[in-house]
C-alpha cells in the first residue's frame, strides 16, 4: 500500500473536482479524503495499491472536464488506513 498527500492547484473548485475524484478513487479501490482549501486549491489524502495511486495521481493532474489544473504537489506519507473515500465539507 501507498499513501500520498496531493495539493491540486488551478481552477479546481466549482468544477465537480471533488465529486469526480471520489468516484474515480472508489473505482480504483483507493481510500482517503478530499477537501477544498481556503485559498482555492483542492487537497487529497489517498491510500491504495502503488499502481492505483500512480493512476489516480495522473488523473488528478487532468481533473474533470471543466477543471484547469496548473500544478499537483505530491508528498509521500506514512501509510494510513481510511474507511472509504469521503468528501470533507468546508475549507481547510
Q: Catalytic residue among 23, 29, 35, 36, which?
A: 36
1-8: average pLDDT = 97
* pLDDT number for residue 36: 95
Per-domain residue ranges for the chain?
A: 2-8+16-83
Q: Name the CATH architecture for the domain at 2-8+16-83.
A: 2-Layer Sandwich (3.30)
- Tell me if residue 18 is catalytic: yes
92: pLDDT strictly greater than 90: no
46-91 tens-digit pLDDT: 999 999 999 999 999 999 999 999 999 999 999 999 999 999 987 6
The torsion region of residue 19 among left (phi > 0), alpha (psi -120 to 50) and beta comes to: alpha
Q: Is the pTM of this model over 0.75?
A: yes
- Tell me if residue 35 is catalytic: no
Among candidates 78, 62, 46, 80, which has minimal Cα distance to 8?
62
Amino acid at each position: 500500500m501507498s499513501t500520498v498527500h496531493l495539493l491540486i492547484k488551478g481552477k479546481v473548485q466549482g468544477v465537480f473536482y471533488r465529486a469526480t475524484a471520489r468516484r474515480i478513487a472508489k473505482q480504483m479501490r483507493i481510500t482517503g479524503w478530499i477537501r477544498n482549501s481556503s485559498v482555492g486549491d483542492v487537497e487529497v489524502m489517498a491510500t491504495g495499491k502503488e499502481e492505483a495511486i500512480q493512476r489516480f495521481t495522473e488523473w488528478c493532474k487532468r481533473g474533470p472536464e471543466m477543471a484547469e489544473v496548473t500544478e499537483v504537489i505530491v508528498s509521500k506519507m506514512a501509510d494510513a488506513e481510511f474507511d472509504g473515500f469521503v468528501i470533507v465539507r468546508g475549507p481547510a
